[in-house]
Amino acid sequence: MSPEISENSHTLRSNDDYSTVKMASLERLAESVVDELNKAQGESQMGLLPFRRTGNVSEQSVSNTTKSIGRRSSLKNRSVIFGLLAALFLFAVGCSKDGMSPFDPMGPVAAKQLDLFNVLMWVMVIVFVLVEGVLLYAIIRYRKRPGQAKPPQTHGNTSLEITLTIIPTILVLGLAIWSVFTLFDLQDPPEGSPEALHVNVTGHQWWFEFEYPDAGNGKKIITANELRIPVDRPITLSLESDDVIHSFWVPKLAGKLDMIPTHTNEMWFQADSDKINDDLPVTLYGQCAELCGLSHALMKFQVTVMDQADFDSWAAAYGPPPTISARAKAGQAVFAANCTLCHTIDGPDDPVLSASRLTGFLTGGDITPVPAPNLTDLRTRHTLAAGLVDLSETNLLSWLHDPSEIKANNYMSQRAVMYKTETGTSNLTNEEIDALIGYLLDLQ
């Protein structure tokens, strides 16, 4: 027997009682660990270690003063941490800027998903409060009191264990069934809905491409970062990615769905006029919800909900106008010489732009073209750089001068020849940039 154990405050009735000795050394070990933790707690003032030594061994190692300071500061620190967590929670639930809150659904899909969320959350809140309540009651009511003898030790209670297995099983099964039924229910627009409008959505680093194979009268539209949809009509979407995994999310219309390379995910949503309190058109906001590279957080988009008539006139107006101003004509040449490897504009300019693209491919050297937004309807958009700034001549000027000022890590700055300069800013002259803006925004 070691002398340490004989010094222990526990009375060892028999020195050769091996199990008693073993127990005593284990207790001693546990107590010294708790002592060390308390000491660390007092010194570091971190207050994160909920240990309190109950024995009387090595009382000297931690003075009462240190312990009480440690405990007081630990209480204070815990309050600070609790306060910070509460603030973080409030901050998180406050992130509902301009139409990004899933708690204010504007269509049937988001509304049903919110119902499911509410059921799941309240069942879990009730279970949490009950379980923690019983736990707290037991901790307080049956805590160790001075001079109290060890209570009778029991192991197991079959009927209690069966009950406590059956209740959660029923709850989990019920919630799972509800979830699966909601999933099936939301698979397709309900019977009797108006004819759906289909949109193919492609995720790119770091912007969204929207293609309407038939926006009405067989008209094909390709646009970027701004989805326009008619109200009260189901929108079916095929989601794909061109590079890495993105996630398509318009919180007020539907939950997230991944956009995966070489795999198409299907979803639908609808904006209901009776859930929208403002006059149309109304702008809702979307965001990529899957970490997809350095500018993931800058991959936003807008959804504009319009009357069917407004949508139709927007669709009819898609494409460049038949006349082109002198300023735009000069800009067309700048565009053809600098932008066509990645961007395009549909319409009468197609042959010119295609020819310059071919020349670019043949003579481009080390240029690596990347998919970039089709700019045909840029003049009708509200934002620039995937929803980052409002579309205006001033912002377009800054963007063309140095895109990285607005959106770090964008591929235009990294790949386009016009930015391969010492400072990374465009090598175009002010006149050329002005003409380019004229071509992109006026086109007439």
Residue type, position 206, single letter: W
C-beta of 190 vs 293, nearer to ligand CUA: 293
Preceding amide of 281 cis, omega within 30: yes
Q: What is the DSSP string of 263-301?
A: B-EEEEE---GGG--SPSSEEEEEE--S--STTGGG-EE
C-beta of 290 vs 349, nearer to ligand CUA: 290
- Of 226, 290, 349, 434, the one binding ligand CUA (CB under 6 A) is 290
C-beta of 237 vs 292, nearer to ligand CUA: 292
CB 221 within 8 A of CB 373: no
- Look up residue 237 and give its DSSP letter: E
Residue type, position 113, single letter: Q
Least distance to ligand CUA, CB of residue 201, Å: 12
C-beta of 267 vs 428, nearer to ligand CUA: 267
Q: What is the CA radius of gyration of the chain?
A: 33
C-beta of 215 vs 288, nearer to ligand CUA: 288
C-beta of 250 vs 440, nearer to ligand CUA: 250
Task: Return contacts of 27-30, CB within 8 angstroms, 24+ apart.
Answer: 27/55, 28/4, 28/57
Helix, coil or strand: residue 320: coil
Residue among 258, 237, 235, 260 nearest 248 (CA):
258
Least distance to ligand CUA, CB of residue 259, Å: 8
Least distance to ligand CUA, CB of residue 148, Å: 58
- Of 53, 228, 246, 381, the one binding ligand CUA (CB under 6 A) is 246
203 binds ligand CUA per the rule CB under 6 A: yes
The H or E element containing residue 223 is strand 221-224
What's the sign of the alpha-carbon dihedral 319, 323, 328, 333? Answer: positive
Residue type, position 147, single letter: G
Least distance to ligand CUA, CB of residue 294, Å: 10
Between CA 59 and CA 283 the distance in angstroms is 67
Least distance to ligand CUA, CB of residue 284, Å: 18
C-beta of 271 vs 288, nearer to ligand CUA: 288
Least distance to ligand CUA, CB of residue 299, Å: 4
CB 228 within 8 A of CB 216: no
Helix, coil or strand: residue 261: strand
209 binds ligand CUA per the rule CB under 6 A: no
CB 411 within 8 A of CB 298: no
Among 143-151, 169-177, 218-226, 288-296, the segment contacting ligand CUA (CB under 6 A): 288-296
201 binds ligand CUA per the rule CB under 6 A: no
31 binds ligand CUA per the rule CB under 6 A: no
296 binds ligand CUA per the rule CB under 6 A: yes
C-beta of 75 vs 291, nearer to ligand CUA: 291
The H or E element containing residue 172 is helix 158-185
Least distance to ligand CUA, CB of residue 199, Å: 17
The H or E element containing residue 177 is helix 158-185
Least distance to ligand CUA, CB of residue 255, Å: 16
Among 138-146, 211-219, 291-299, 324-332, the segment contacting ligand CUA (CB under 6 A): 291-299
The H or E element containing residue 197 is strand 197-204
Q: Is 149 exposed, middle or buried (0-12, 13-18, 19+ CB in 10 A)?
A: exposed
Count of positions on this chain that bind ligand CUA (CB under 6 A): 9
C-beta of 203 vs 286, nearer to ligand CUA: 203
In the Cβ-directed half-sphere of 217, how many Cα atoms lie within 13 Å?
8
C-beta of 342 vs 386, nearer to ligand CUA: 386
Least distance to ligand CUA, CB of residue 289, Å: 7
407 binds ligand CUA per the rule CB under 6 A: no
Between CA 93 and CA 250 the distance in angstroms is 17
C-beta of 215 vs 299, nearer to ligand CUA: 299
- Of 215, 284, 292, 334, the one binding ligand CUA (CB under 6 A) is 292
- Of 227, 253, 299, 388, the one binding ligand CUA (CB under 6 A) is 299
Interface residues with ligand CUA (CB under 6 A) are: 203, 206, 246, 288, 290-292, 296, 299
